[in-house]
Amino acid sequence: MRVLVLGGDGYLGWPTALHLSANGYEVAVADNYARRSYDAELGATSLVPIAPLARRVAGWSEVTGRTLAVFEGDLTDPVFTTEMIRTFAPAAIVHFAEQRSAPYSMIDQAHAVYTQTNNVIGTLNLLYAIAEVDPTIHLVKLGTMGEYGTPNIDIEEGWLEVSHNGRTDRMLYPKRPGSFYHLSKVHDSHNIEFACRAFGLRATDLNQGIVYGQETEETTRHPALATRFDYDAVFGTVLNRLVVQAVCGHPLTVYGTGRQIRGMLDIRDTVECIRLAVANPAEPGEFRVFNQFTEEFSVMGLAEMIKELFPRPVEIATVDNPRVEADEHYYHAAHSRLLDLGLRPHLLSDTLIESLFDITERHRANVDPSLFEPTVRWTAEADEVGPRATATVG
């Protein structure tokens, strides 16, 4: 089977492409290298150095004898998008090619507009291209658990049975996202669901939790195959930042009370979830949703786990929360469908001990402590252009 991985140069796209290739799929990757440009804009970089895409592809060929096709272009270009799909003729498309940072989307009006334009328009072009070239292509789209927000009821896997005034219907689960990035993902989900109804497409929307880890079985086979490790306050995940702070002897900075709860999963489980979704496609016309996470933690719980497991003394410090979110909330989300397909999860406590502390220690010289502090706040101020978020970047 041919699988096209969009955003294949990114943190998750690259190891996903390798995992699919290692499992016998014929894989192509597509990217416009926007993620690398964000580093230059923000004055940040991956803790673990990453090779250019051409070197990555060559390295994979050296160690496995398998080739990866490469397409360079932007999904906001409808001609490029359609011709890429027509040329490669995939049976499945894995879509990672979006701006993925909530703080980045909240820097100011320009970054909010860019995020929504890049993500929503790119996905719309992709849907039309699939409908034109081959409606049987299975779209596997990376969404986010952040689409749901933190409702005071259980979160189901995408759909909700609702009874109102004596009548019952099945509808998409109500969404209350917490940033313009998360809003773009909500718009994607609605557009994809509509395209499945209108065009007869088939799609799997993976509402993914926070991913941690940097190594998979495939990325460790050659230095050129390494994927990113972001720890800064804009693109870095909370766990990565806390681990790097612990290794550097810096207090672990917890936003607000730290009682915010999030679903999380190991990067090895992420790539396996994608493989399982590709191997078990949705039916024609079906829009299905999997909640893709394996464990739930509060932010303070993560900090306390690191303090317990790290071999040196660790301090925890609370700072003002730059985000507009509930400091304490109910959180219970269903996540059984990928487990039913055969996912066997890794545990965070094992991953911390097995790899994350060691990876950070090995690359400690690359750490820039100035990147720990939050520089983007969700509060808005009016100016001559309109609302903008208060931010200091770089």
Q: Which residues are catalytic?
A: 144, 181, 185
Burial 320-343 (b: 16+ CB within 10 A, else e): ebbbeebeeeebebebebbeeeeb
CA distances from 377 to 30, 161, 188, 323, 341 (A): 32, 36, 25, 6, 40
Counted residue by residue, the chain has a size of: 394
β partners of residue 296:
263
What is d(CA 284, CA 14) in angstroms, rounded to the nearest whole number?
28
Contact 349, 309 (CB under 8 A): yes
CA distances from 15 to 46, 57, 92, 96, 251 (A): 15, 12, 17, 12, 31
CA 248 to mean position of chain CA atoms: 26
Collect all residues with Cβ–Cβ distance below 8 Å to 25 and sequence separation of at least 6. 1, 2, 3, 278
| Number of neighbours of residue 167 by Cβ within 10 angstroms | 7
What is d(CA 391, CA 106) in angstroms, rounded to the nearest whole number?
8
Which one, of 263, 254, 255, lies nearest residue 210 by Cα? 263
